[in-house]
Structure 1
């Protein structure tokens, strides 16, 4: 099924996060349970978090350049007290909780800290690298060098993102389907072309559509597709396509053109890959071509222009 046909088929596709990581956001000191405040599940990516003081207590730990702290909310119990200021105990001897107080701290995600090992057991998927994957890796490295974009794979992270000249990806070992890794990588590289190709005026939904179409074009060119990756790509496109179409239908044409420009910019950074992707044209010997032409003339003898007998 072609991309355009699938988009217009009416079938609904569901996007599934293609990489495995930590199950929930939690404190580095207490990895067996998530943070107490449910609001953290909405705003924090899964994984362990550390305060600056916790990081300093590890002699080999180092905060990565450009890392930012996240706000972590914590619920603290306020215990009921009697007239003498002593805690009131229940029938089992435990303090009675009167209410919970919400406080917050600023902490670093473990993926932004070097020299500290996660408590979560790694999930490693093994992948056999093909020639097309080697070409994709070469393209990513060449674009990164040519355009000053740092591409980092962080094991255990639950998020892929682009920060200007920095692209962060979950380690490829976290992907059950390796084609999803390359789709994610080219999506984020598509975002990184935004400044160079002057797409700063685009809204969030439009930019997401451009980045995902860029990934589709590059993965298709390199032959890095299978059914699961294709359907997941469709689900992502379908969501943002519907949003953009409902607001500005004419912008869809611009999104495709912008994605084509982004894909070409990335490909132009690596002549080796461009040459690899060039179609193989075979030379036909002149005698063979003449024989083929004579055969056609013989078939047309005594017939009309449309092959019907006169």
Structure 2
């Protein structure tokens, strides 16, 4: 695959995630450990982004060959993740001078959860993935006082999501986030989704079956703006504003600066925030 084709492939993957309503750089619960190879080498550059787009709890990856050499075996049916290898070839020209020729290629890695017969390496298993985050009373008050609230489940892991079918918000433990503020920003985002349930504000982008990509995009924008409103209300907007701003800026670019679409989403977000804050009229 040529260099340009690799660039195109990477761009397509990132754009696809953004179009699905997922900002790849928004994953903030990696427990302080960036993606690493099984031998302890940290991934850099675009590979950090590509591997952070996966849904695995532990950011430890390896090639098929590395897994075998370490005594493990990739589980049957596992789908690997493409990463990029960069290097520079040195070639002597006819004058004896050394030309440096940069090149790159793609290869496939698998997460340790996809490998049988291997344990977490020492550097990862001994790495502290918990932070001394504390509950913020004002944020807790918002969550606890929400009318007709969904059930909130906290478990160790890396998934923040709202399950509309079961009306459940699922969150990682607060200790797994980089900060308390990041935890509540993500929780507010998922609670925003829950306001679209048929028994609340009944947004079709949440409650309807067979949602389209456009419906998904609209709902993600509403949830992000709602979270920004709630962060501002609870005084933690300065802790999360860069995250939210980059997310919204990316959406505006994808949506070709469709201002009408943005304002419609903001209006829905205001209703969602009011619902969570018990300020509905």
The TM-score normalised by the length of structure 1 is: 0.47
1:107: Cα distance to partner? Answer: 1.3
Alignment of 1:152-163 (within 5 A): 152-154=155-157, 162=161
Q: Distance in 2 between matches of 1:101 and 1:216?
A: 39
Matched, 1:31 2:40: yes
Deviation readout 1:260-288 (Å, 9 max, x if unpaired): 455577x4xxxxxxxxx558xxxxxxxxx
Give 1:185's match in structure 2, choosing from 181, 184, 187.
187
Instruction: Name the counterpart of 2:50.
Output: 43
Give 1:214's match in structure 2, choosing from 193, 204, 226.
226
Deviation readout 1:94-117 (Å, 9 max, x if unpaired): xxxxx989463351365999x954
Instruction: Name the counterpart of 2:267.
Output: 257
1:182: Cα distance to partner? Answer: 0.9
Q: Distance in 2 between matches of 1:174 and 1:111?
A: 22
1:212: Cα distance to partner? Answer: 1.0
1:138: Cα distance to partner? Answer: 8.5
| Structure with the greater alpha carbon radius of gyration | 1
Deviation readout 1:184-220 (Å, 9 max, x if unpaired): 1222454575431677463776444312112134445
Deviation readout 1:160-181 (Å, 9 max, x if unpaired): 6659669775642244541221
Q: Distance in 2 between matches of 1:124 and 1:184?
A: 17
Superposed CA RMSD in Å reads 5.5
Instruction: Name the counterpart of 2:133.
Output: 127
Give 2:110's match in structure 1, choosing from 107, 110, 127.
107
Instruction: Name the counterpart of 1:196.
Output: 207
Alignment partner of 1:254: what SS?
helix
1:48: Cα distance to partner? Answer: 1.0
Change (3 A) 1:42 1:127: closer
Unaligned runs of 5+ in 2: 1-24, 54-58, 90-101, 197-204
Q: Distance in 2 between matches of 1:191 and 1:201?
A: 16
Q: Distance in 1 between matches of 2:43 and 2:79?
A: 21
Deviation readout 1:4-53 (Å, 9 max, x if unpaired): xxxxxxxxxxx99765645543322x123438xx6534422192125689
Deviation readout 1:135-184 (Å, 9 max, x if unpaired): 62796x95246xxxx76542xx5xx6659669775642244541221111
Instruction: Name the counterpart of 2:11.
Output: none
Alignment partner of 1:195: what SS?
helix
Alignment partner of 2:264: what SS?
helix
Matched, 1:239 2:239: no
Unaligned runs of 5+ in 1: 1-14, 79-98, 268-276, 280-310
Alignment partner of 1:225: what SS?
coil
1:243: Cα distance to partner? Answer: 3.4
Q: Distance in 1 between matches of 2:218 and 2:226?
A: 12
Q: Work out whether residues 154 and 173 of structure 2, in 8 Å CA contact, stay in contact via their aligned partners in 1.
A: no
Instruction: Name the counterpart of 1:172.
Output: 174
Alignment partner of 1:126: what SS?
coil
Alignment partner of 2:227: what SS?
helix
Change (3 A) 1:247 1:229: same
Q: Distance in 1 between matches of 2:237 and 2:220?
A: 22
Instruction: Name the counterpart of 1:143.
Output: 150
